[in-house]
Amino acid sequence: MVQRRRCATIDVGSGDRARMAELEAQFIQDTRITEADLSLIIPVHFIHVVDGEQGAISAVQRKQQVKVLNDAYAPMGIVFTAEEGNVSVVDNPEFFRMGHMSARERNCKTQNQAVDPKRGLNFYTAEPGGGLLGWATFPFQMEGDPAMDGVVIMHSSLPGGTGAPYDLGMTAVHEVGHWLGLYHTFQDACVLPGDEVSDTPAHSGPNYGKPADAEQPHNLCANASAGAECPIHNYMNYVDDDWMHEFTNGQRERMWAQVGMFRRDLLTSQAAAAVAEEAEVWAQVRW
């Protein structure tokens, strides 16, 4: 079976990540955001880039994709909504085959962004090629380059698509994880702090396919704490869609901090009240 590159989301330099980690720790301490009973509702706007009939996505597929997102994110306190009115179709063979960080991608997004990225998720489907399943922009990139914000997802990876074993909609769960600030669980391999999340043990690289639970520790790093297991079912790894089914509490905390710092306008009023004063200060911080 062909091992697809799940994702082309950028690798953030270690200096930038160190600064980010510092800001985030301070933010969590100041807002005590994990202690609050928060909720976050994210409107999804689908932009289907097609080449004639190629890449067409049905209303049923959209519905199923949103359900898959909600099944994954509901335990994180995050809900996605999609209206059928918030769907656009762009028939353009060049944009359909856009490459990551290419002129085509920028032109496509500049011309077709469907929602202010401060207010919702621009969810592009296309056929990037090269075995790529998708990519995302991080929260901290939005302010500097709002036109590029969102996720680009291989059309055949949506539920009901033809991209088995990546056809259950988990590519979107993974890319939205980046969009909410998560790194891969194998970020920086065994060099700590890895993905900046303490309860996703470091492993030396992506896991593919369906690594057996009975064969732990797989590629877990030697510096992992006693009893730790390689996160082979984590959404931010590269395993098959039917093998992914978990985020951790640490990932939840990180997503909330990243939203609080960089996607504040997505917070509902209830949530916003909980972080308002400190977040106001943090909004001025340019990392």
The least distance separating Zn ion from the CB of residue 6, rounded to whole angstroms, comes to 6
Q: Which residue is nearest to Zn ion (CB)?
A: 7
- Kindly state the helix (H) or strand (E) to which residue 48 belongs, with its residue range: strand 40-50
**Binding-residue pattern over the window 130 to 149 for Zn ion, x denoting contact by CB under 5 A:** --------------------
157 touches Zn ion by CB under 5 A? no
What single letter denotes the amino acid at residue 122? N
- What are the tokens at 251? 């990932």
- Kindly state the helix (H) or strand (E) to which residue 40 belongs, with its residue range: strand 40-50
Q: Say how many residues make up the chain.
A: 287
Whole-number Å distance between alpha carbons of 281 and 232: 38
Residue 157 sits at the vertex; the CA angle it makes with 74 and 201, to the nearest 5 degrees, is 55
Q: Residue 40 or residue 170: which is nearer to Zn ion going by CB?
A: 170
The least distance separating Zn ion from the CB of residue 182, rounded to whole angstroms, comes to 9
**Binding-residue pattern over the window 4 to 33 for Zn ion, x denoting contact by CB under 5 A:** ---x-x------------------------
Q: Residue 183 or residue 282: which is nearer to Zn ion going by CB?
A: 183
- Kindly state the helix (H) or strand (E) to which residue 273 belongs, with its residue range: helix 269-283
3-class DSSP assignment, residue 233: coil
Find the catalytic residue in 24, 105, 175, 196: 175
Annotation says 175 is catalytic: yes
Q: Residue 114 or residue 136: which is nearer to Zn ion going by CB?
A: 136
What sign results for the dihedral spanned by CA atoms 121, 209, 238, 229? positive
Q: HSE-up of 204 (CA within 13 Å, CB side)?
A: 7
Q: What's the CA dihedral at 261, 258, 121, 208 to 10 degrees?
A: 160
The least distance separating Zn ion from the CB of residue 154, rounded to whole angstroms, comes to 13
Q: Residue 90 or residue 182: which is nearer to Zn ion going by CB?
A: 182
The least distance separating Zn ion from the CB of residue 32, rounded to whole angstroms, comes to 29
Return phi, psi of residue 161, to 5°: -80, -175
Q: Residue 7 or residue 230: which is nearer to Zn ion going by CB?
A: 7
The least distance separating Zn ion from the CB of residue 174, rounded to whole angstroms, comes to 5
Stretch that binds Zn ion, among 1-9, 97-105, 211-219, 247-255 (CB under 5 A): 1-9
Query: CB within 8 A of 267, min separation 6: which ones?
Result: 38, 40, 259, 260, 275
Size of interface with Zn ion, in residues (CB under 5 A): 2
Stretch that binds Zn ion, among 2-10, 65-73, 158-166, 217-225 (CB under 5 A): 2-10
Residues engaged in binding Zn ion (CB under 5 A): 7, 9
Active site residues: 175
